Amino acid sequence: MKGNGVRSQTRRNLPKRYWRVWVFRFFLVIILMSIVALGWAGIRMRTQLDPTPLDPTLLALATALQFTPTATTSPTAAPPSATFTIAPTRSSSLGTLVYAARNDGYSHIWAYTPGDSAPVQITNGAWDDRDPAVSPDGRYIAFSSNRKGAWDLYLLELRTGGLRRLTDTLGFEGNPTWSHDGLWLACEVYFEGDFNIWIIPINGGLSPIQLTSHPAIDLSPSWDHSGDGRRIAFVSYRDGSPDIFIADLDNPDNRFFNLTRTPVIAEKNPAFSPDGSRVAYSMYSHGLDLILIQDLNDLSQLPETVSEARTVAWSPDGRFIATVLSNSISTHLQVNALGDDGTNSVGYPPISGIQSLDWTEHGLPGEVYARGSNNSVSTPLFVINAIPEDSGRLSLVELTDIVAPIPALSDAVDEAFNALRIRTIAELGWDFLGSLENAFVGINDPLPPGYAYNDWLYTGRAFAFQQTTVQAGWVELVREDYGGKTYWRVFVRTVVQDGSQGEPLRALPWDFSTRHTGDPLAYDQGGSLRESIPEGYYVDFTQLAGDYGFDRLPALTDWRTFYPSARFNEFVRTDGLDWTSAMLELYPASAIVTPTPFQTPTPTPTRTPRPTATPWWWRWRTPTPSSP
């Protein structure tokens, strides 16, 4: 006890210079360790990427891309309404499928682990979240969202629910893909009328890197996670049509290689296999969306066709692919096994409205799994007033402030139309549905040429927007073919063109005017694709109308030679009814016995044969006996 006290007293009596020396040594060691750490980080960063200098014309974009440094700002805490209950981590030998799907008028992120009873909703709200990409360690989901107006990239930490905004611009950033080490994201960026691929860091302090700068658009990057991860596949229009390109980050002099080289076929949505030996992508040809897989080790071999679908994601072990199967109304998830004996379906729950997807080997954290049911509350977009069962036939409801020949719709769909009109005004900034070419048409009123005799406008369940909006440049039409029929996807231009409304187009619209230019091919095809994608921001009205139950109709068979038969401007809400059943909601059966305003053509009379002489015995007259 006494010795300890002497030593304590001795420490207290040491000169102040002694303490200064030790403090100086301590801070010197800290400084030296920091220098070594920063030097090692710089060497590692330089070996990972080849940061090309930014194009001077795009320096404004690099300045606008603002990142939230991890050291200064912690992820946003979960909202108070979210309930976090620790539960076992959900996992499966097949990993977890993370996807964006549209439900109740908005796109949000979901996840499904095989063995669960139902998918788990990860995000929700009155905005769109899509393009999910899971980090290599399974900790984060990077995605694009317009929750703040413009489309930016966000980072969601799965276990805590923390959300970090990675970009903050009035442009467009989307389709993120992770580097193999989880330190970078490649994405598509729309700036000054052009799409390019950029590489941005996850942490602050580093500048984004512009990978492509070609005047043609570059889209949909996919990062190779095999080896050192020095390749990025993407879609480019630089050779005239959308092809799959591969960027080699180690070869700045000859960086880009055209993998597909198909001048008359459109390819999109590339995805590297987990081992980097193959690239899967979708191809549109002759009215079909096909999934092809190209072996990168033997480019002399033609790609293998494995499925009829679009948008592909590989399973972590490379034995399965998840694809999006589309029809004229919706999209559906399809999972297939890849094998020598063909493609076999793998059972997954029926998921519709799917838009984009990713597949990770990691399971869902228990916290996300436990609170999934809290995020799955469905809110209807509008309320349909109940119609009494004994009310008999439906009546027509006049539409307020609508310009149309007969501004009325059936009582079965008027609430849906009014809600769609309000939503369209909010999305576009102008009243696109305020003036209609047609709404309800009376059973005895003739329709203009190009409409079918049993058109849905007679039922009061359909409307047709003004075709003049196409000629005025406010509407662009993208051709889509399903099941031998031609449909049109309608994109409407927004009023505000700074990126806070809508999004840029990614496909070439159809140009009907070229049929009159003297080009025989364009005349036979009813037009042609535009030479370039129009600049600006648009809203997918076809998707928006579908959210409210109004589906597009196919073009009539003579649309290539008769413009009105294209029928791109008509939308109908059938509620599962056929045309006759919908007519019986308004009219008695006797009124629609002959459902055509046109008279049935009279058949041509049979030609009278050459007269045949009457036999003599037929002309014989029996004598009339005389009277006695």
Residues 6+ apart with CB under 8 A from 140: 134, 155, 156, 157, 158, 182
Distance, in Å, from the CA atom of 466 to the CA atom of 15, rounded to the nearest integer, reads 92
**Are residues 418 and 558 part of one domain?**
yes
- Residue 349, pLDDT > 50, answer yes
Higher pLDDT, 233 or 590: 233
CATH number of the domain residue 62 falls in? 2.120.10.30
Reported as a single tens digit per residue, the pLDDT across 582-593 is 999 999 988 887
Judgement on whether residues 122 and 205 belong to the same structural domain of the protein: yes
Cα–Cα nearest to 283, from 295, 294, 292 = 292
Other CB atoms closer than 10 Å to residue 584's CB: what's the count? 16
Q: Does residue 361 sit in the same domain as residue 443? A: no
Q: Is residue 574 part of a domain?
A: yes
How many alpha carbons lie under 13 Å from residue 608 in its C-beta half-sphere? 3
Model pLDDT, residue 297: 94
Number of domains in the chain: 3
Residue 613 is assigned to a structural domain of this protein: no
Residue 614 lies in a domain: no
Domain assignment of residue 496, yes or no: yes
Query: Which residues form the domain of 9?
Result: 2-37
pLDDT tier for residue 86 given thresholds of 50, 70 and 90: very low
DSSP 566: G
Structure confidence by residue, pLDDT tens digits, 119-137? 999 999 999 999 999 999 9
Evaluate whether residue 275 is within a structural domain. yes
* Same-domain status, 576 and 439: yes
Question: In this structure, is residue 628 part of a structural domain?
Answer: no
What does the buried/exposed string (b/e) look like for 38-65 if buried means 16 or more CB atoms within 10 Å of the residue's CB? eeeeeeeeeebbeeeebeeebeebbeeb
Q: What is the pLDDT of residue 60?
A: 45
* Interval 43-75: pLDDT, tens: 343 334 444 444 443 444 444 444 333 332 323
| Mean pLDDT score of the chain | 82
Residue position matching structure tokens 């009215």: 287
pLDDT tens-place string over residues 90-111: 666 789 999 999 988 999 999 9
What does DSSP say about strands 194-201 and 184-191: parallel, antiparallel, or unpaired? Answer: antiparallel
- 277 and 158 within one domain: yes
Whether the Cβ atoms of residue 585 and residue 393 lie closer than 8 Å to each other? yes
Query: Measured between alpha carbons, how far is 205 from 71 in angstroms, rounded to an integer?
Result: 10
Same domain, 481 and 507: yes
In a domain, 546, yes or no: yes
- Is 447 a member of any domain? yes
Query: What DSSP string runs through 272-291?
Result: E-TTSSEEEEEEEETTEEEE
The model carries a pTM of: 0.81
pLDDT beyond 90 at 233: yes
- Rg of the chain over CA atoms, in angstroms? 33
Residues 428 and 550 in one domain: yes
Q: Of 375, 408, 437, which closes a domain?
A: 375
Q: What pLDDT, on the 0 to 100 scale, is given for residue 626?
A: 42
Strands 278-285 and 231-236, bridge-based pairing: unpaired
Closest Cα partner for 294 from 325, 334, 267? 267
Q: Is 11 in the same domain as 62?
A: no
Backbone φ and ψ of 547, nearest 5°: -60, -30
Q: How many CB atoms neighbour CB 334 within 10 A?
A: 20
139 and 267 belong to one structural domain: yes
Strand-pairing partners, residue 121, are 110
pLDDT in tens, 186-223: 999 999 899 999 999 998 778 999 999 999 999 999 99
Structure tokens at 134: 């899971």
Residue 154 sits in the same domain as residue 33:
no
Same-domain pairing of 55 and 26: no
Q: What tens digit of pLDDT does each residue of 500-539 get?
A: 999 999 999 999 999 989 899 999 999 999 999 999 999 9
Quick one: what percent of the chain has pLDDT higher than 70?
Answer: 76
The H-or-E segment that residue 145 falls in is strand 140-148
- Residue 480 burial (CB count, 10 A): 20
**pLDDT tens-digit readout, 265-288:** 899 999 999 999 999 999 987 778
Whether residues 408 and 452 fall in one domain? yes
